[in-house]
Amino acid sequence: MSAHLRAYRLHVPPLLADRGIDEVIAFTVPLTVRFRGIEVREGTLLHGHEGWGEWSPFWDYDPVESASWLRAGIEGATEPVPAPRRDRIPVNVTIPVVDADRARTMAAQSSCTTAKVKVADPRSDLREDCRRVAAVREAMPAGRIRVDANGAWDVETAVRAITELDAAAEGLEYVEQPCPQVEDLARVRRRVDVPVAADESVRRAEDPVAVARAGAADLIIVKAQPLAGISRALEVIDAAGLPAVVSSALDTSIGIGLATHLAAALPHLDHACGLGTLRLFRGDVSDSPLTPVDGYLRPQRGVVDVVADDPDDDLCPRWAQRLDLTVAAWAEMERRRP
């Protein structure tokens, strides 16, 4: 067990026990850099007869949104994974908001041939973003570079920023979620030559296929936890009819392992997947974390090596209460399912 990781056993709610969950472990682990506005990753692991699933919604998600993540965790622990179509998954290195020198080093040391560079963060302006992207290009002269704006721009800002970032990269593979609204994604897509990928407009949308119907994206980013599991994610990909990039929701090795099975099951996989994010963690729930080797991961289930301690005065009550609220929301959603 990593010295950076804390893990504590929680009470298993009756509704989860009835569906085959026999153990719930809460965990917390610091990140190597600030990412998605957080410096510590927290969540839970669920155990069932098929192994381990992960439930790790972010703290700003309410019980209803967290319920989709819970469904994914239950599926991961209690249902078999789909048959694979491939035995290895190409992955990108994720470059957070760091200075150009560190970005260059992270890209060079990654063994990946694709890099995803975070941009449009409040801590970084467009000039700094361009320097970061250019540094990654220096480290990957023949590689692919994609950027992720997390919906930070309006249409005019997006068009200008994409043009400058495309020049700095000497050609972007795509830009991920430049604007928050589907209609704005469509406007940007009509005005730039760089392909547009939708992330938040898929995983946080009431209708994850709306972005495809609106002609607002060239490809979609798919994450198993937010989309309620592998089965539902495959349905969304099929309905959207667009190329898909399977990515992490900043998961541990358990979530990453299940995501590799989602990527392995896709009919087509034309882009590197965003599943190399364990490099952003200072520890993991496994002594054998699922990190890329020569730019690839193999489809596998993550293994939990942590030994859960007695309940923690701070960590456990917060997660126990959140779990109870989310289980209630999930049960209501299941009751209403046709």
Catalytic residue (choose from 6, 132, 223, 301): 223
Catalytic residue (choose from 6, 71, 118, 203): 118
Q: Which amino acids are annotated as binding site, given as ranges?
A: 148, 176, 199
* Phi, psi (deg, nearest 5) at residue 119: -135, 175
What is the bridge-based pairing of β-strands 196-198 and 219-222? parallel
Higher pLDDT: 313 or 214? It is 214
Q: Could you say which architecture CATH assigns to the domain 89-297?
A: Alpha-Beta Barrel (3.20)
What pLDDT score was predicted for residue 202?
94
Q: Are 26 and 47 in contact (CB under 8 A)?
A: no
Nearest one of 244, 158, 234 to 199, comparing CA atoms? 244
6-82+305-336: CATH number = 3.30.390.10
Q: What is the DSSP letter of 223?
A: -
Percent of the chain whose predicted confidence (pLDDT) is above 90: 85
Q: Is 116 a catalytic residue?
A: no
The pLDDT of 102-121, averaged and rounded, is 95
* Band of residue 35 on the pLDDT scale cut at 50, 70, 90: confident
Q: Which segments of 109-148 does DSSP mark as H helices, in order?
A: 126-139
What pLDDT score was predicted for residue 19?
95
* Band of residue 337 on the pLDDT scale cut at 50, 70, 90: confident
Q: Which amino acids are annotated as binding site for Mg(2+), given as ranges?
A: 148, 176, 199
CB count in 10 Å sphere of residue 185: 26
Rounded Cα distance between 102 and 318, Å, is: 35
Q: Which residues contact 297 (CB under 8 A, 6 or more apart)?
A: 88, 89, 91, 256, 260, 273, 275, 276, 290
The whole-model pTM stands at: 0.94
What are the boundaries of each domain within the chain? Answer: 6-82+305-336, 89-297
Q: Which residues contact 254 (CB under 8 A, 6 or more apart)?
A: 45, 52, 53, 54, 76, 285, 286, 301, 302, 304
Q: Is the pLDDT of residue 277 over 90?
A: yes
What pLDDT score was predicted for residue 314?
67
* Band of residue 223 on the pLDDT scale cut at 50, 70, 90: very high
Tokens of 162: 């994409």
For all residues of the chain together, what is the average pLDDT? 94
pLDDT digits (tens, 9 = 90+) for 163-220: 999 999 999 999 999 999 999 999 999 999 999 999 999 988 889 999 999 999 999 9
